[in-house]
Structure formats: structure tokens, C-alpha cells
Amino acid sequence: MFLWIAFALLTAAVLAAVLAPLARPARRDEASTAADGGTVAVYRDQLQEIQADHTRGVLSADEAEAARLEVSRRLLASAARAEDAEPAASPPALPSSRHATIALATAVVVPLLTLTLYLAYGSPGQPARPFAARTDAAVEQAALAGMIAQVEARLRENPGEGRGWEVIAPVYLKLGRFRDAANAYANAARLNGETVVLLAGRAEAAMLASDGVVTEEARVAYEKILKLEPGRVEARFWLAMAREQDGRLADALADYQALLAEAPPDADYRAPLTQRIQEVTARIAAIETGAPAGPTEADMAAAAKLTPQERAQMIAGMVDGLAQRLKRNGRDLAGWLRLLNAYAALDRKDEARAALAEARRNFAGDAGALAELAKLANSLGLGS
């Protein structure tokens, strides 16, 4: 209610200020004297300046006289123009009734327009929520936020407190702050010792942070898990996935098949395993028949069914797999060209440039390959 009163008062004050000139008689003095007063003042000023320049010796007597003449001519012309314009300048102003109508129309339109727009975009019912007022009094709504803030503040002071990192890591993961989660898990493991739970959390967060790619960080974590608890299915599955993403398809297939063979008949991970086995088999077959080692038809069909986000993840996974493979074996020109194209299509310019530089290093001395790289780089706009 108070808010609406404030709105009304503000609007009224604005209208009163804006419409005041319509209600009172025009300031005659200004309307008439100032009409050309400015112009005349400027010329008079110029005359003075000429005089000053003359006294200072910048202008000779002849020059000063000529300049004075010219300015005087303009001064006269301007005065004449002002006189001509005089009758036009003060015609009978609009009748007062017209002014009243205009004022009334303005007084209706302004609040109407303001209210319409404000109601469309404003949130009059929503109270302000300053941060300070929230952290001490708002257990109701922002309990989680408060807790995070408190733990974060404590960790800033004592970054060596492993317990804090352990508490906050899963919260980050749940909130979708994957990078923070991975870091928190890493800190917890460093300070409290590496446990299966902490390592698995770190690996999961790291994978989610990089759109599903089993990164080096995740791979190392899973390998450590296998040392602590050999045979853990989750770790074995993701390591197989890592191999698949690296392009080591035969190894990946063998791992998947082994996992499937050991799986209890009612295990819920049989379905994803079967799917991976099908896909990897298809890719191996495609390579053997000499088809371009790109995505298989099955991949494409699968990709078509995915949500855009999943598709982006799948593409990123394939591209990163290719990049990793080329890092180990850099003598594959076709692979480099494909990688550059992929980076350009994904608009990952910096990586494209880095890849280009690395490819050039690998093929230093091979003029044919370098020419091909340069051609592609040019057409992709990567500079030379």
C-alpha cells in the first residue's frame, strides 16, 4: 500500500512540475529579448576580441578594420532578421483553453502509460531482500545459501579444514557448480585422505564440468578407486569410456564385454553397457570397411534422438577424443584437418589455433602437409 502511495505522489509531483509552464503566463521577457540576444552578444564579443587582438599586435590596423566591418555587417543582418521575424515570433499564442486540454491529456496519458508499462515489467509485490538482512534472519528460505556462505567464509579463513570441503562438495554438485565441486572434493581428499567416496565425487564432478568427457582428472581418480577397491563397476565402466573417447575402440569393447559378462542378470547397468557395445562394434566395423572414421550412421541416428544439450555433449566428447588421440599420435594429417574443422564449427577458436600450431610442429618439413594445413586455416579464418 505504502508503495502505491509513493508511486502516486511521485507521479503527481512530476506532472505538477512538467505542466506548470502551461498554467502560468509565458515569460515574456525571455521570449522576446533572448530571441536574438544570443546572436548579438556573440557578434559584440567578436568585435571586442578583434579590438583586443589589435591592441596586442596580432592584427594590423587594416586587417582589424576589415574584420570589424565584416562582423558589423553580420550584426546588422542579424538584427534585421530579428525584426523581420518579430511579428511571427509573437503571434497570438494558443488560447488558454487549448493549454488546459493539453495539460489534461498529458495528466491522463502519463500515468496511464507508466502504469501499463510498470505493471507489465515490475514486481510491486516482491519485497527487497538485502543480503545482510538475509543471512542472520532468514533460515526459512535461504538455509542452504546461508550454510554455503558460512562454510565458504570459514574455508576462506582456514583453507586447510578438510571437513568443510567434504561437507560443501556434494552441495556444489547438487547446485550444478561442477568445477567448484571437483575442487572441493580434491581439497577434501588431499586433506582427509583419499577415500572411494571422495574420489568418485571428484571424478563425477570433473566429468560433468567438462560436458561428459572423461578427463585426465577423472581418469586418474577412477584408477585410484580401482586400487582401493578393485573391481568397482562404476570405475571400470568410466575407464572403458575413457578408452573409447581416446579412440582405443578394441580395448574399450573388451572392457565393456567383460563388465557385461560379470554383471548379475538383474543389474541396472546392463542396458547402457549393451548400448555402448553396439556402438563401439559399429564404429570398429566402419573403420575396417574403410568408411570415413567419423560418426557412424548409428551415432547419427542416436544423435538425432538426443536433446540439444546431450547432442552437444556427444559432439564435444568425440572432438575431445580425437584431440587426445592426436596428442599421442600426431602424424595423422586427415585427423588434424578433421579436428580443425570441428573446432571451427564449434567456434572454439583458441583451441583451433593451438591445434593448428601443434599440427604444424608435427609436420615441420613436410611441405605438402603444411600447404594443406595453411589452405584449411585460411578458409576457416584462423589467420596464417
Partner 1 sequence: MIIELGHFALVLALAVAAVQMVLPAWGAHTRDARLMQAAEPAALTQLALLSLAFAALTYAYVTSDFSVENVWANSHSAKPLIYKISGVWGNHEGSMLLWVLILALFGAAVALFGGNLPPSLRANALAVQAAIALAFLLFIIFSSNPFVRIPLQPEGRGLNPILQDPALAFHPPFLYAGYVGLSMAFSFAIAALIEGRTDAAWARWVRPWTLAAWVCLTLGIAMGSWWAYYELGWGGWWFWDPVENASFMPWLAATALLHSALVMEKREALKVWTILLAILAFSLSLMGTFLVRSGILTSVHAFAVDPARGVFILAILVVLIGGALVLYAWRAPQLQQGGLFAPISREGALVLNNVLLTVACGTVFVGTLYPLALESVTGDKISVGPPYFNLTFGPLMLPLLLAMPLGPFLAWKRGDLLGALQRLLAAAGIALLALTVTLALTWRGPWLAPFGIALGVWVVAGALSEWVARVKLFSAPLADSFYRARGLPRAAYGTMLAHAGVGVAVIGIVATTAWQSEAVLSMKPGDSAHIAGYELAFRGVAPGRGPNYQDQIGLLTVTRAGAPVTELSPAKRTYDAPRQTTSEAGIHVAWRGDLYAVLGDELADGAFVVRLYFNPLVRLIWLGALVMALGGALSLSDRRLRIGAPRRARRRALAAPSPAE
353 CB-near residues (< 8 Å, 6+ apart): 382, 383
User: Minimum distance from CB of 279 to partner 1 (Å)?
Assistant: 34
Q: How far apart are CA 81 and CA 73, in angstroms?
A: 12
User: Minimum distance from CB of 14 to partner 1 (Å)?
Assistant: 5
Q: From residue 353, how far is each of 62, 126, 381 by CA, in Å?
A: 70, 49, 10
Instruction: Say whether residue 21 binds partner 1 (CB under 8 A).
Output: yes
Q: Candidates 64-72, 268-276, 302-310, 360-368 — which segment interacts with partner 1 by CB under 8 A?
A: 64-72
Nearer to partner 1, 22 or 196 (CB): 22
Instruction: Say whether residue 37 binds partner 1 (CB under 8 A).
Output: yes
Q: How far apart are CA 252 and CA 280, in angstroms?
A: 8
Buried b or exposed e, range 118-135, using 16+ CB within 10 angstroms: eeeeeeeeeeeeeeeeee
Instruction: Say whether residue 293 binds partner 1 (CB under 8 A).
Output: no
Instruction: Say whether residue 69 binds partner 1 (CB under 8 A).
Output: no
Instruction: Say whether residue 76 binds partner 1 (CB under 8 A).
Output: no
Question: x/- binding map, residues 177-216, to partner 1, per CB under 8 A?
Answer: --xx------------------------------------
Only one residue has cell 574403410, namely: 290
Instruction: Say whether residue 67 binds partner 1 (CB under 8 A).
Output: yes
Q: From residue 125, how far is each of 35, 182, 185, 363 by CA, in Å?
A: 51, 39, 41, 66
End-to-end CA distance of the chain: give it in Å, rounded.
66
User: Minimum distance from CB of 334 to partner 1 (Å)?
Assistant: 23
Instruction: Say whether residue 61 binds partner 1 (CB under 8 A).
Output: no
| Candidate residues 5, 127, 350, 361; the one interacting with partner 1 per rule CB under 8 A | 127
Q: Candidates 130-138, 221-229, 242-250, 316-324 — which segment interacts with partner 1 by CB under 8 A?
A: 130-138
CB 94 within 8 A of CB 26: no
Instruction: Say whether residue 156 binds partner 1 (CB under 8 A).
Output: yes
Length of the chain: 384
| Candidate residues 5, 61, 88, 271; the one interacting with partner 1 per rule CB under 8 A | 88
Question: What is the 3-class SS of 98-136, one letter each residue?
Answer: HHHHHHHHHHHHHHHHHHHHHHHHCCCCCCCCCHHHHHH
Spell out the alpha helix ranges (H) of the chain: 2-23, 28-56, 61-89, 96-121, 131-137, 139-157, 162-175, 178-192, 196-209, 216-228, 233-246, 249-262, 270-288, 297-305, 308-328, 333-345, 349-362, 367-380
User: Minimum distance from CB of 347 to partner 1 (Å)?
Assistant: 9
| Candidate residues 61, 62, 97, 128; the one interacting with partner 1 per rule CB under 8 A | 128
User: Minimum distance from CB of 341 to partner 1 (Å)?
Assistant: 14
User: Minimum distance from CB of 365 to partner 1 (Å)?
Assistant: 24
Question: x/- binding map, residues 351-380, to partner 1, per CB under 8 A?
Answer: -----------------------------x
Instruction: Say whether residue 91 binds partner 1 (CB under 8 A).
Output: yes
User: Minimum distance from CB of 290 to partner 1 (Å)?
Assistant: 32
CB 243 within 8 A of CB 252: yes
Query: At 184, is the secondary structure helix, strand, or coil?
Result: helix
Instruction: Say whether residue 102 binds partner 1 (CB under 8 A).
Output: yes
| Candidate residues 51, 76, 108, 129; the one interacting with partner 1 per rule CB under 8 A | 129
Instruction: Say whether residue 228 binds partner 1 (CB under 8 A).
Output: no
